[in-house]
A = this chain, B = another copy of it.
Amino acid sequence: MYPYKTLFDFTKSVFERIGLKEEEARQAADILMRAELRNISTHGLMRLPEYINLWKNRRITITPDYRVVHQTPSTALVDGGKGLGLVTAPKAMRLAIEKAKTAGTGWVAVRNSYHYGIAGYYAMMALKEDMIGISMTNANPLVAPTFGLHGMLGTNPIAVAIPTHRQPPFVADFATAPIARGKLDVMEEKGKTPPEGLLQDETGMPTTNPGILKRNGALLTLGGSLQTGGHKGFCLTAVVDILSAVLPGANFGPMVVPTLGYVKDKTGSEDKGIGHFFGAIRIDAFQTAEDFKAYMDSWIEAFRNAETIPGQEKVIIPGDPEREAEKINMEKGIALSVNTLYKLKRISEELEIPFI
């Protein structure tokens, strides 16, 4: 178990060493560490080498020309200037929140950015303003559209954070694919087998091989086959791709230039990057925040107290497991996998930053 502060300080130092300003490094470290605290380790420190590789390969710029290209009272188009997503995305979400203060809602589409960590981080930024926060992004093409042979869409997450009064906030933060790539990696490492109906091999046949993405296989969409609603999952993942990438003019779906070695080179342009879409909705643009938050409490209570199927204790409210993990991990420290530990030690040696 590693104390939060030790890991935070190390991560911040890494980002400072590659040239980020202190405040930017703090912001970037906060996003990765928030993932660790919330037990979303697939988006935590194990990703640090990916960010460093983007920098080494000059796919990102440390001093980007961040520009608001166009705006209206409730919208803005941001060009991230090839900057690190972890620095660009919080700025863009803050802009959405500022817009919402005067226009009621704020919507910011970002192009020319890179992997931004957990979607939920940005959605949750809206909570303290009594706003609903929305965040989505496109990503490496790993998901096949219904009937498609190849991965053409990212696991494109959506996060929605909703303020409450007595109850803790509702925070949904989910990849729109049925299972995360990181989880498949862990299954492969441990020799485990994912359920049927989630993956296909390079010929389009169903498979349960968790390493299939590295062998030109693909994830199916949420819902699986057409018979079980997979085309609805395709619609959903497609909408995230269009809002995040087509709307701002980033690389969409199959054009995304991959950050994963095993994804075949795609046709996208290096100066379009990937895209994000952020929203902030002021509660009192509809009803008083007080009334809404009390009503939202009763929504949560209805589901929290719902009768369950045999063998299950409760209906899980989106955000509950992550918030509980955050509390425990902050107190007791964070567990790192052998693999992540090894990666961090290599970074420590390479960048000459003492680790622990």
Contacts and interface: CB of A to CB of B under 8 A. Distances in A.
Given A105-B105, A302-B254, A228 B296 contact: no
Contact of A176 (B74, B162, B232, B253): B232
A14 to B, nearest CB: 32
Interface residues of A, number: 90
A35 interface: no
Contacts of A316: 146-147, 231
Number of copies: 2
A171 to B, nearest CB: 10
Contact of A307 (B70, B149, B285, B307): B149
Interface in A102-122: 102-105, 107, 109
Contacts of A285: 70-72, 74-75, 107
A177 to B, nearest CB: 8
Contact of A299 (B71, B144, B205, B253): B253
Contacts of A158: 236
Interface of A: 69-75, 77, 102-105, 107, 109, 132, 144-150, 152, 158, 160, 162, 170, 172, 174-179, 195, 197-198, 200, 203-205, 222-225, 227-229, 231-236, 238-239, 241-243, 246-249, 252-255, 281-283, 285-287, 291-292, 295-296, 299, 302-303, 306-310, 312, 314-316, 318
Given A132-B247, A200-B309, A246-B292, 8 more contacts: A109-B286, A147-B312, A162-B246, A174-B236, A231-B316, A241-B299, A248-B286, A253-B302
